[in-house]
Each structure stands twice: as C-alpha cells, then as structure tokens.
Structure 1
C-alpha cells in the first residue's frame, strides 16, 4: 500500500484498525492488538476491553508475531486476525469461533472458497501448536503455511466477500467503488 494499512480510512468510519477492533469487542472477549507502531497503541488507548502489545524488533513476519502471543500452556485459544480484511464482520468471526468450538483440539482456519486465509484463525495454545511453532522458528523457517501443515487444523468456509484481503492500491480502489 505504501503506507500503514491500519490507519487507512474505513468506509464505516474510523480507520481499518479501529473498525476491526469494533467488530471484535461485541464478542465479549479481551482484545489484544500486537503492533510495532506506538500510534496504534495511542489510537486504541481509550477502548475498554482492548490492549496493545508493542512488538519489538526483529520483525520477521506474522509467524514470529504469533510466537509473541501464543501461550505454551494448554487450555487457551487465540483468535488471530489481520488488519487488512476491512470487510470482516462480527458475525463472520462468530462463525469461525463456532466451528473451532466443535473441534477445539484443532486450529480453525478461514477459507474463502478459493484458498485458505491462514491469518484469520482460531489457534489453540499448548502442544503441538506452540512446540511446532518454536521448532520451526528455531530452524529459521518463517512461513505460516509451513507451520500450518504441521499442526492439526480444519478449514472453515466463510463468505468470500468478508475475507477480502486488501494488499495493494488496486484492492483499495476496488473497496472505494
């Protein structure tokens, strides 16, 4: 995009980051945003139920970021969402959570009908999820999809339009039309 996607104006008001957090807060779970930008923490500082964890360098992508928040202790789960799905809504996130709750020993990974959207997932804590993550990172392997092939997971078909992943100016232009 050439600029911070989290701070792009959102069609429903605010910016992409606040719009996403506003979709999550009604779920009633604590929301933790992992970001390397202090401006994100400031932007969300007055939202009850939301905290920001500043990610310190090195910044080696989403798998390394997951390692900073995924607990090694079993019995927890982490809902992971990218900020660049500006059309994602609470009801779609609820569908993903519901699918995971039917098989909580597996990660639940979003699928748009064409491909996996691995950065939208519910990931259980503990082993094998955390141990596979640590082993892969120790080998210097940073690909999320490689990690996903090593852990038990189910795909969850969700509405494709809600999973639009905006990564370039053309995607942004399509959103604005």
Structure 2
C-alpha cells in the first residue's frame, strides 16, 4: 500500500468515539454520559479529539438523541448492539469518506492533544495499516488509527464471528505508537470508584 501524504498525514482522518458498550462495571450506566467534573465524559473526549480530525462520529447503541446534541453523526452498530469495539469500527468505516479512522474510547478524557499526529507519524514511518497506542507496558487497542481500506477484511472477520480486537490487528501491518510519556492518556473509567478518583484529580488540577 502506497501512502498518500496529506500535510504530514497519510490522508484525511475521521475520528470515532466509541460509546457503544454495556458498561456492566458501571451498573449499566452509559459511560459517555456520566458526569465528570460537571460535564458528561464524552464532552471531555470531544474537546480533545475534535481539533485533531476532519470529522467526528460517535458510536452509540443508546441515547442517540443525547449524543446527537453535540452536532456530530451518531452511528449504532450495524451487526447488532453491544458486539464490542470492532463492531463500532466497522460501522464507522462504512459511514466515513476519509481514508483513515482515528479511534478513541468515550471514557479516556485526558487524551493527548497531538494523539492523531503521533499515530499518523507511526503509520508513515512504517508503511503500516494500523497504529495502536502503547503505554510503555502494553498496547491500548481502543486508541488507534486504522486504514479504511481494511473495511472488507474487517467485515469478513466480524461476519465470521470474530470479536477479539487484538486478533484482527495482528493479521495486518500494525505498528505500536509509544505514548509512555503521556500516562494520563490511558486513565479511564470502568467503575464508580475510578470515576470519583479521576474527578478528584481533575478538579484538583493534578491533570490537564
């Protein structure tokens, strides 16, 4: 695959916020709409990702009207609700016009403001199809940049029952993007206690 450069990027990039999970550990509450420091979590994520991409989609399987109030397209999983992050990625690839898709979760409110640029640089340096964030210890698979040329392959994988994101990634030219200098990027919220802890840190100005 020959990459077409676009201002230091492999091409135009759409952003996808994954907000389609069941959030069992949060008692089933929609994580993207949980309040953090006085605002729904998704607002913090939107604030970080919106300036970095050419378009934004929100993958949500409920509360579409609430998410739609932010002025971006809301897309529900095309293969049935709550099928995991690959379903959200597939749905977004089918909906966007851009050749690249930057994926982030709705519960990581402290993403780097240069996240997409760093993922793009990794793709260009390695002629990769996928760049995945790495926190210095392990991959963070729901923070990634994907070539939308992989749509047919992803559709086939999902149609055959594939749901494991790491398994699909490893079938393609993947590069890890070192973000160990931004540990706050990987602070997310999976339980009520984690939400309280993160909120206290944000309100105290410990993280920005």
* TM-score normalised by structure 2 residue count: 0.71
Match status 1:16 vs 2:41: yes
Cα pair 2:57 2:74 within 8 Å, conserved: yes
Deviates more, 1:55-64 or 1:150-159: 55-64
How many pairs does the alignment contain? 171
**Aligned pairs for 1:58-137 within 5 A:** 58-71=81-94, 76-103=99-126, 105-126=128-149, 129-137=150-158
In structure 1, stretches of 5+ residues that fail to align are none
User: What is the DSSP-based 3-state SS (H/G/I as helix, E as strand, rest coil) of the residue aligned with 1:79?
Assistant: strand
User: After superposition, what is the alpha-carbon deviation per residue over 1:69-125, rounded to whole angstroms, capped at 9, x for unaligned?
Assistant: 224999701111111112213233432233334445421100111111111100001
**73 and 100 in structure 1: CA distance in 2 versus 1, 3 angstrom threshold:** same
Q: Match for 1:167 among 172, 187, 190?
A: 190
CA RMSD of aligned residues (A): 2.6
| 1:151 corresponding residue in structure 2 | 172
In structure 2, stretches of 5+ residues that fail to align are 1-25, 201-208
Give 1:169 deviation, angstroms: 2.5
* TM-score normalised by structure 1 residue count: 0.82
